[in-house]
Amino acid sequence: MDTSALFLSDFSLHSLCVVLGRTRNLEVLDQFIGDVFINGQITLLTVPAAATKTVTAAMLSQQLDFDDAYQYVIAKRDGLILVSFDGDFDRSDLQRQTPAQILASLPPLPPPQPRN
């Protein structure tokens, strides 16, 4: 799969880091960073501190919590499809897709090749 068109917010990354850190899964965290950002070449996106006002504005206009508004602002700003299990996005003006919908839209993987 071409990962050059995949993005993750720094908010999501840091949330994963907090959870994996609390559960002492540091090897999993290191592996995730390697798989996603180094080998997978997924782009990390952020809302700069100076643009936080766009997040608070989205909280009001889209009736979202801060964490959802942060994701919303990045998706809206960069013209991205918002992929989430969170139904709170359904009340926003962005169309949300679930991970299952994204996976179903991908072409099937080729069958594994026999090893010599």
Mean pLDDT over the full length of the chain: 91
Number of domains in the chain: 2
Residue 44 belongs to what H/E stretch? strand 43-45
Token pair for 6: 């995949």
Please give the share of the chain, as a percent, with pLDDT higher than 90.
74
Compute the distance between CA of residue 37 and CA of residue 49 in angstroms, rounded to an integer: 23
**56 with 17, same domain?**
no
Residue 87 maps to a domain: yes
Closest of 108, 111, 70 to residue 89, by C-alpha:
70
Domain ranges, residue 10: 1-45
Residue 2 maps to a domain: yes
Residue 88 maps to a domain: yes
**15 with 34, same domain?**
yes
Residue 101: the pLDDT is 93
Q: 20-73, pLDDT tens digit by residue? A: 999 999 999 999 999 988 888 899 999 999 999 999 999 999 999 999 999 999
DSSP state of 38: I
Q: pTM value?
A: 0.82
Token pair for 92: 């926003």
Residue 116 maps to a domain: no
